[in-house]
Chains A and B, each alone.
Chain A
Amino acid sequence: MSVIALLSIFVLAVFVGFEVVSKVSTTLHTPLMSGANAIHGVILVGAIIVAGHSDSALPLTLSIIAVVLATINMVGGFVVTDRMLEMFKGKKKPATKEAK
Chain B
Amino acid sequence: MNNNLYSLIGLVAAVCFILALKGLSSPKGARRGNIIGAIGATIATVVVFFYNDPAEGGLKNLPLILGAILFGVIIGVPAARKVQMTAMPQLVALFNGVGGGAAALVAIVEYLHLGDKASGGAVGATVFTVLVGCISFTGSVLTFLKLQELMTTRPVVFPGGRAVIALVLLAVLGAAGWVAIDKGSNSLLVLTVLSLAFGILFVLPVGGADVPIVISLLNAFTGLTVAATGYVLDSTLLLVAGTLVGASGTILTRLMASAMGRPILGILFGAFTATPQAALSAADARPVKSGSPDDVAILLAYARRVVIVPGFGLAVAQAQHTVRELADLLTAKGVEVAYGIHPVAGRMPGHMNVLLAEANVPYEQLKEMEEVNPTFSQTDVALVVGANDVVNPAAKTTPGCPIYGMPILDVDQATNVIFLKRSMRPGFAGIENELLYDPRTTLLFGDAKDSLTKVVSALKAF
Residues of A with Cβ closer than 8 Å to B? 1, 3, 6, 9-10, 13-18, 20-55, 58-60, 62-95, 98
Contacts and interface: CB of A to CB of B under 8 A. Distances in A.
B18 A81 contact: no
B185 to A, nearest CB: 10
A69 B259 CA distance: 32
B51 interface: yes
B24 to A, nearest CB: 5
Interface stretch (B283-291, B307-315, B357-365, B453-461): B357-365
Interface of B: 13, 17-18, 20-22, 24-27, 30-31, 33-35, 37-38, 40-41, 44-45, 48-49, 51, 53, 56, 58-62, 64-65, 68-69, 71-73, 75-77, 79-81, 83, 85, 88-89, 91-92, 95-96, 98-99, 101-103, 105-106, 108-110, 112-113, 121, 215-216, 219, 222-223, 225-227, 229-231, 233-252, 255-256, 259, 328, 343-344, 348-351, 353-354, 356-358, 360-364, 368
A78 B121 CA distance: 32
Given A69-B99, A87-B358, A88-B353, A53 B113 contact: yes
Contacts of B69: 44, 67-68, 71
Contacts of B105: 47, 62-63, 65-66, 69
A80 B110 contact: no
A24 B112 contact: no
Highest count of chain A CB atoms <10 Å: which of B34, B44, B226: B34
A28 B320 CA distance: 19
A78 B251 contact: no
A39 to B, nearest CB: 5
Contacts of A55: 60
Given A37-B219, A70-B102, A49 B24 contact: no
Majority secondary structure, A binding face: helix
Given A38-B95, A47-B106, A79-B80, 12 more contacts: A27-B27, A33-B216, A37-B96, A40-B242, A42-B13, A42-B41, A52-B59, A52-B65, A66-B102, A71-B72, A79-B81, A91-B362
A39 B245 contact: yes
Nearest to B68: A67
Highest count of chain B CB atoms <10 Å: which of A22, A23, A48: A48
Contacts of A52: 58-62, 65
Majority secondary structure, B binding face: helix
Contacts of B112: 58-59
B49 A48 contact: yes
Contact of A53 (B21, B45, B59): B59
Contact of B357 (A9, A44, A60, A91): A91
A91 B363 contact: yes
Given A13-B244, A89-B31, A46 B21 contact: no
B240 A66 contact: no
Given A78-B38, A80-B83, A21 B252 contact: yes
Nearest to B215: A33
B21 to A, nearest CB: 5
Contacts of A71: 68-69, 71-73, 76
